[in-house]
Amino acid sequence: MTHWKDKEVYKTIQLAIPIIMGELAQMSLHLIDTAMVGAISYKHLAAASLVMTAANIPFVIGIGMTISVSQLVSMANGRRDHQLISHYLFNGFLLCTFFALVISGGLVFGRNILRHLHQDPQVVELALPFMSLVGLSIIPMLLFMTLKQFTDGLEYTKTAMMLSLAAMPINIFLNWLLIYGHWGFPRLELAGAGYATLITRTVIFVVLAWIVLKHKTFRRFIVVSESQWRYSIKTIRELLRIGIPSSIQLGVEVCAFAVSGIIIGTIGAVSQAAHQIALSCAAFTFMVSMGLSQAGSIRVSNAFGRSDWNKIRVIGKTTLITALLYGSFCGLIFIIFRWQLPLIFNENPEVVSLSALLLLFAAVFQISDATQATGAGLLRGIKDVKIPTILITLAYWVIGLPFGWLFAFHYHMGAAGMWLGLIVGLTLASIFLGARFISRVQKA
């Protein structure tokens, strides 16, 4: 039995590694853009930050919608139903295209909202054209993510990973040409970064689409397109039943951290800078947790398609234990290197000192963060999304953020108090989701 469990852990990690690499590659693109734009001036950096903050929440909601594709494709794959897989691909692509167009249109035509956020006027003027380009680039990116979820759902995770890694040198080269105006290209500065992002995202989407349509691996799903590539309102509803709660789950968490940052920003610049440093470190480690969550979710969904509850139980428990061990390891790293990590970002003594303190809090919630992400993914795998969404909302917004505000201001703990509230929220989310998954599989 122990050997079987070890084998399941290995399979989950093997599936997760390409997903994790792809997630880290996408995150690295944002860091590269930030560094290359920041080399022009701090106002260009501020403009880029303003746009990314404004675009992040609708973008994350779009990503949540694409998750429905991997869940249903994986379930159909568990049944070895190639025609149903093809049907989910077509309708999922239609649905995600619609959401991509709506989100993109909202950002492009609603960009003037940046003028009403009480930001530096010069920063806003720099940000407006960049906002339009980032908004447009969301279309190819969400379409790429939709096809990625399709290939991931079939457990072919290396394809999208290779394209995500290939996007890095392409984006860097285009940035170099268009931001700084090398090789006779116009010096477009921040707008150049926008064009580079749009071109890069379009290229990787087109290449992945070509692979899905032409490669022999996916041929069995394409040859049945004449009968299966038909719009179905029933299938769209099935996708929405998973996609909407998944979008809300991701949005709730992103909004909670965004609001905590705004609240901490009212304390002072040092607190805001320290918060950003600690959060950047935590966000980096969270990419691994997300990859593990997606891999566990795909494998559980595959077993769910066969109604193999014994395998669901084993995959779920081993994935949660793996997440627990990973979170513990990250927490230990944060504790040991809490004085060194902030120096990567800033050398101000006050900022470094407060960052070191916040990294201790971040160390504590690494376990909760890894296990709550995994718990949510496992529940998605068995199509349990509505109640978990309510539980996550309660943990973050009814308990975590109010407690954080209370600790920060009533008990005068400052930024540390806000982070204590985040620990409470994440821990409760972890307990709620883990307990619900274990309860569901024991009843089955």
Cβ-contact 395, 365 below 8 angstroms: no
Give the tokens for residue 311: 């395998």
CA-closest candidate to residue 76, choices 194, 224, 182: 224
Q: What is 19-53 written as a DSSP string?
A: HHHHHHHHHHHHHHHHHHHHTT-HHHHHHHHHHHH
- Rounded-to-integer distance, Cα 163 and Cα 201, Å: 10
pLDDT digits (tens, 9 = 90+) for 311-367: 999 999 999 999 999 999 999 999 999 998 888 776 778 888 988 999 999 998 899
Q: Which residues contact 136 (CB under 8 A, 6 or more apart)?
A: 104, 108, 198
CA-closest candidate to residue 192, choices 22, 11, 183, 414: 183
- Rounded-to-integer distance, Cα 343 and Cα 257, Å: 23
CA 438 from chain center: how many Å?
A: 25
pLDDT digits (tens, 9 = 90+) for 124-144: 888 888 889 989 999 999 999
| Residue extents of the structural domains in the chain | 16-231, 242-444
Give the tokens for residue 86: 């093809």
Q: How far is CA 57 from CA 83, 126, 238, 420, 425, in A?
A: 34, 21, 24, 23, 19
Helix (H) and strand (E) counts in the chain: 15, 0
For residues 152-167, one letter each, b for 16 or more C-beta atoms within 10 angstroms of the residue's C-beta and e for the rest, the string is: bbbbbbebbbbbbbeb
Radius of gyration of the chain (CA): 22
Percent of the chain past pLDDT 70, that is, above it, reads 95
pLDDT digits (tens, 9 = 90+) for 286-300: 888 988 998 999 999
| 58 has pLDDT over 60 | yes
* The length of the chain, given as a count of residues: 444
Q: What is the pTM of this model?
A: 0.84
- Which carries the bigger pLDDT value, residue 320 or residue 279? 320
Return the pLDDT at 348.
Answer: 78
- Which carries the bigger pLDDT value, residue 400 or residue 122? 400
| 35 has pLDDT over 80 | no
Residue with tokens 């980096």: 284
Number of Cβ within 10 Å of residue 311's Cβ equals 18
CA-closest candidate to residue 430, choices 363, 361, 377: 377
- Rounded-to-integer distance, Cα 174 and Cα 288, Å: 28
Confidence of residue 4 (pLDDT cuts 50, 70, 90): low
| 31 has pLDDT over 80 | no
